[in-house]
Amino acid sequence: MTTFKFKQTRLIAALLTAGVIGGIGAVGIGQLPHAAYAQTPAATATVPVVQPNMMEVPNFAAIVAREGKAVVNISTSGTEPASEASGQIDPGLRDFLRQFGLPPGAFQFNPPSKKGIPIRGEGSGFIISPDGLILTNAHVVKGATKVTVKLTDRREYQAKVLGMDPKTDIAVVKIDAHDLPTVTFGDSTTLRPGDWVLAIGSPFGFENSVTAGIVSAKGRSLPDDSAVPFIQTDVAVNPGNSGGPLFNLQGQVVGINSQIYTRSGGFQGISFAIPIELAQRIEQQIVAHGKVEHAKLGVTIQDVNQTFADSFGLPSPEGALIAKVDKDSAASAAGLKPGDVILKADGKDITSSSDLPSMIALAKPGDELHMEIWRDGKAQQITAKLQAIGSSSSTKPAETTTADSGKLGLALRPLQPDERRQAHVSGGLLVEDASGAAAAAGVQQGDILLAINGQPATSVDEVRNILKKAGNSVALLIWRDGNQLFVPVPLS
């Protein structure tokens, strides 16, 4: 079971996925209570009693009876390479025992097997074609040497993994069967927060378990280097249901249950599903080519906070601020620059920086991305032709630093030619000392100031002129240790 921990200090929780020892699953929930309202007669007057207003609960049983036959249980087995350190006694205890003259062999127990450590896991999946194509999560079948699929009628088949894409956590497996029941695909884009959804899977090995809940949010970005725009729900899912379907009230699959947010290792009210449109795109590539290609814009981005918005003259703190443009990338060819703020992509608003990678994840290499950007205090239109990448992406949001109030407080000097060559920059000013607001914002001695409020820092005098025209804050583009990032600095 793989656990991804959130980096925020206030949230010591984890994103739990199935890995090879389990999958995300579901446990049953009780009957939802009806809502009843009544008025109590006043003491001085006779008031008619209002009959209870009964709120109808969807009939999930009909969906399960019709669609549940296409949901399968997936069990896997394999071996995990034995670590050279496995079987070794704790170093501290080993040093303690050495004082008593024990032989070296006493410091090892249960020597690691050369064949590796046996591992087993369980997950879920669903049939998408009558001839045995099945969708599931990549982490369910990763590392498996044997994959067994069990249908609801108890038949079992040995499955072949056609391919998997760890970046989106999608895998396609195939069994040798015919005339199988299949699911119907829906449209996850029509889901709204508050809509009912239903999950079927095998939590903890309890096959064909059903749970229901509502959509909590859409387009969630998780801190696991994934660009998937997850559907967040409160459907009860637990280890064993990874790869299982998420249905809407029409009985259509709108997502694949993938991860949960937990402190205990079990369900705590937040689960995440991969939109079915993304899963279908990955499945089609795997079936056709046996591999998956992802699109790349080639920028490093970060969120726009209020300080940045004030610095760039934006009406609101929204968009994806470009901190760096990769050389020879689609973004570079399109003319994007550090300091540009992407406000829209293909007509959709970019509210936070995480919205952009999610949109690019749904695109294909060669697609054109039409963007509205903010540059020099006004909106402009720009189009980029996306490139193909492997399993990595440069659209991961950059780390940002919060700033405090105070004066700028920077001691700057021009870079020497050898310093520019070493840093691989064409210009900028070296920060010899940082104090006041700049230091509080995170600017350090040795940083290189490349631009201020989007204008190149060509000289100390130029910086002074820019500061005279600045408002209550400035945005500094800093080069540090081979990376570029924007640092907001309030001036008052």
- Catalytic residue numbers, as ranges: 139, 169, 242
Torsion on CA atoms 101, 103, 107, 110, rounded to nearest 10: -140
Element (H, E) at 311: helix 306-312
Between CA 190 and CA 477 the distance in angstroms is 39
Q: Which residues of 457-489 are buried (b: 16+ CB within 10 A; e: fewer)?
A: beeeeebeebeeebeebbbbbbbbeeebbbbbb
CA distance readout (Å), 410 to 186, 227, 275, 454, 482 = 56, 37, 47, 18, 21
Rounded CA-CA distance 234/215 in Å is 7
Environment class of residue 146 by beta-carbon count within 10 Å: exposed (0-12), middle (13-18) or buried (19+)?
A: exposed
232 token code pair: 């967040």
Neighbouring residues of 142: CB distance < 8 A, sequence distance ≥ 6: 19, 20, 164, 166, 171
| Number of Cβ within a 10 Å radius of residue 220 | 18
CA separation, residue 354 to residues 7, 177, 310, 391 (Å): 16, 41, 21, 18
Q: Is 333 helix (H, G, I), strand (E, B) or coil?
A: helix
- The residues, any chain, with a CB within 8 Å of residue 65's CB and separated by 6 or more, are none
Amino acid at 22: G
Contact (CB, 8 A) for 85 and 154: no
